[in-house]
Amino acid sequence: MTEERTESLVDTPAPLAEEPPSLGRAFGIRSWLQDLLETLLLAVIIFLVINTLTGRYQVHGQSMEPSLHDGQYLIASKVTYWLHPPERGDIIVLEPPDGSAIPYIKRVVGLPGDHVQARDGRIWVNGIPLHEPYIHSAPEYTGEWFLGANEYFVLGDNRNNSSDSHRWGMLSVDNIIGKSIFCYWPPNCWGVIPHFTFPELTSQP
């Protein structure tokens, strides 16, 4: 007797053809481009924020000798005076009221409402002579100025070689760009710009 064997055939799916790897997947180009764009966008945002809050300025000439020297580069804070008004002794960057296109760098000596005098080789504020060890030499000029609201009296530390308030008068607060806070060039001058105070004025009643 002959046995008949029946074999069942099972359909086996044909193997899928493998896709060749793309260059983007193989080398992560898409991910790399995304990281690059995100980094560039972040850098642009940081640049805009920094330029809104600060500025970089060069010292031109000798008007601030011996405190600052020709060719130094400074960082000025614009946000400082959004928080409080300029203070006596601040070294500021300003838009020159005499029409010069290059920003000036000067020291605030007189505040709104002050009475400023130049006499006897000294600067006097409200009848009190200022102690100014930072100046190059005693002023050889004389004058008298009464400051109104929102007006400041600024001078270069090189008193006899400076275009400042003793020549062109009071400085409007609208001309003040910011407070000089840091010198970043040259390396030997690197550091915070010192602020000078006047205890002879603050001690008065």
Provide Rg for the chain, Cα atoms.
34
pLDDT exceeds 80 at position 68: yes
For residues 187 and 145, give the distance between their C-alpha atoms in angstroms, rounded to a whole number: 39
**Neighbour-count burial of 67, counting CB atoms closer than 10 A to its CB (0-12 exposed, 13-18 middle, 19+ buried):** buried
pLDDT exceeds 70 at position 175: yes
State mean pLDDT over 27-32.
70
Q: Which fold has domain 52-202?
A: Umud Fragment, subunit A (2.10.109)
Q: Which pLDDT belongs to residue 62?
A: 97
pLDDT digits (tens, 9 = 90+) for 176-202: 999 999 999 999 999 999 999 999 998
pLDDT exceeds 70 at position 80: yes
pLDDT exceeds 80 at position 19: no
Segments making up each domain of the chain, as ranges: 52-202
As annotated, the active-site residues are 63, 106
pLDDT digits (tens, 9 = 90+) for 121-146: 999 999 999 999 999 999 999 999 99
Model pTM? 0.79
